[in-house]
Amino acid sequence: MKRLLALAIMVLMVIPVVSAGTVDGSVRFLKGMAGSTQQTREISLMIMALSTAENENLDLSSEVDDLVNRLIGYQNPDGGWGFYPGEVSSVVDTSYAIIALRRAYPHLPAPEVGAVRSAIEEGISYLLSAENEAGWGYVPGTPSYCYPTLMAVWALGENRYSYNSRPVRVALRYLENTTCEIPDHEALALRLIAYHSVGYGVSNETLERVRELLFNGELSMKERAMLTYGLLLNDPMDFETAKAVMMLESYAQRSGNLVYWTSEPVFFSSTEPIATTAYALMAISTNVEIRPVEEVKNPYELPCDELKNLQNPDGGWGLKPNDPSSEKATYYALLSLEACYPEKGSVEKALSWAREAFERDAEWMRENHRMSVGYYYALKTLLKYDNLTPEEMKEAEDLIREVQLYHGLWGSRIFGPQPYDTALAVDALLDLGVSPEDPLVQRARDWLLGVSDGGWGTMITNHYYSYMLEPDVLTTLTVLEVLGRIATAEELKPHIEWLVGQRVDGGWPYMKTMGEPRVELTVRATDLLLNYGYDYTNETLKFVMDARDGGSIKGKTIELASAIEYLSRYRFVPPVTLYDVRTLLDVKMFRVIGPGMDNESLEEVVEALNNLFSGGFVRVNITSIGEDSYIVMANFGEYDVGAYNPYVGFHLENGTVTVGNVTVPTNESVILVPGKTAGGVVLFVLYEPENVEIAREIFTSSFIRYIRGNAMVFRIERGRVKVTTVG
């Protein structure tokens, strides 16, 4: 029985599988034909096909963007589209346009999303206004027909209308009791596509009829492309479905580096190949069933939206919601938003506010003869964005020098020189290009080192005495950050040790004796201490993630910004997928391990791999997995899959195997699971001994070129090998 199944697979898979060249060539063809048509439905089909191919690791965003802009330009004032630009709106053309725009939506640049959303909404309004009591006519006010009703259902389904939605429910009832005015096979294909879009199932008898047509029927090429696409949407991927895709691919015509499908001789002034090629490209780019596993949460997720929403109308950020804008909060927000892809307008508004604050704070400094915290952070903001001219930078330097309390010291006329003010002033001067050897800077350095042998805090100085209140972490960090630029590690050692001693509960509070640890202070302390041999990076990462998840930073701009800035340093490595393996099969050298396979079969696997892919494949007589890339053909339980892929969820229990959310008997299944090694990937092909020939045929039949998703499950069901893609 197993041998017969393997032979059946081999027979089904003799047609060459879809190659990357086929996708590339058909994309190239559609791009080249884009200028030859102004028909709404053909432009729409090109958008749909290119958007689908975008999922095949092709960057087609600019091409899709151009076509989308053309399509939006064709929209009529009533919200619909006509056959050509400027013609009366029709249900069919409007439906095609809506579907295309929805398919393109995920691939569009952010500035265009709003316009596309509006176009879709206006188009749907047109469709709903054109609805009859049952179904749609070709234009509003005409009797219902099958073709426009199918297209309207498809368009609504693409926009999250289900078969239970009132207009769809009524339309489906109409479609189930009417004949179609368009060719039977095209109508059948559109039923498959439209029904799938609204979640309305089709019968097994219908799917069998489609298979029979594809394998034995007399079909035009457009009908074949449409039916193949419709079958793929509705039928779980198995070897017969794969055969249908490969048959379609085998009919592709080639001219140089172009690939296209057509039912007639190609005259490039003709647009018939556009629709046929578009449906074919959608079919060969949509050739698996997707069954998602539980989403793996990015542990380093950035709370960007919350921070963006805290921006005030004047462009700045307050310390918390509805607070007046603060220079420090705005500086931290802008610094962290670099990791959040901020909108240009948001940054420009913030810089405009910072410029006004900078000038306002400068005037305050002149009037009060004191260093301003607001001025310091406004200055830092403008410097970071190269928003100051050399003349303005010189004016800033002169102003900071001008407001010294004494030579090299800054502070309050009432309480005397202050470590915090002095540190801010010196740091600003250094940022403005003042030399660390400047006498003013050196005077500040000596004073700061001399007034404390631990932390720094507020100073009280008069004619009779001078003393420091209890040191705090904020002042100490600020002083140490600037002294790190002008003093030696040995000179800072006692101060560094004091800072280390202030850590409590995984972070640093304003004072050890009071208050909770803060994200801002903890991140700054961690960064500073790393320069002096103290590594708290992992502990701080946990602290920041806990603060984010626990809600303690909610509504606190500086805390949120500090969390974003710190978390953005950690790149989330997504789970390895079969897509990754498939890509690397053409790039890397793979070692093939087959402890559960006979020598002859293993040699056939290696030979097939070398014939199919550009990478190198060599059989090795070992069982251990090293740091390179491997293909491992083994029985269930021989390898710890979780050690190489902790994300997919792989469990063996009582004669069953669970991969993601799919559980199947081990004696009826072959499983493909990707894994990660230090220097490459590993592809596990796992099976029971009685299914070894099916495992072999996955390679020798060329099906290996179809692998995708987080894992694949090959299950024997009633003489057929059903393939389920996990994730």
3-state SS, residue 34? helix
Integer Cα distance of 331 and 351 in angstroms: 9
Across the range 660-680, mean pLDDT stands at 92
Q: Which residues contact 310 (CB under 8 A, 6 or more apart)?
A: 317, 318, 320, 321, 333, 555, 557, 560
Instruction: List b or e across 35-58, with b for residues whose CB sees 16 or more CB atoms inside 10 angstroms.
Output: eebebbbbbbbbbbbbbbbbebee
pLDDT value at residue 706: 77
pLDDT value at residue 707: 87
pLDDT value at residue 648: 86
CB 229 within 8 Å of CB 222: no
Dihedral sign from CA coordinates of 714, 715, 718, 722 = negative
pLDDT value at residue 2: 35
pLDDT value at residue 12: 33
CATH code at 304-567: 1.50.10.20
Q: Where do the structural domains in the chain lie, given as residue ranges? A: 18-36+202-286, 304-567, 578-726
On average, the pLDDT of the chain sits at 90
Q: Which of 238, 640, 652 is nearest to 632 (CA)?
A: 640
Give the pLDDT band (50/70/90) at residue 655: very high
Q: Which fold has domain 578-726?
A: Chitobiase; domain 2 (3.30.379)
Give the pLDDT band (50/70/90) at residue 571: low
CB 22 within 8 Å of CB 277: no
Query: Which of 250-264, 502-516, 570-584, 702-716 has the least mean pLDDT?
Result: 570-584
509-551: pLDDT as tens digits:
999 988 899 999 999 999 999 999 999 999 999 999 999 999 9
Give the pLDDT band (50/70/90) at residue 100: very high
Residue 272 one-letter amino acid: E
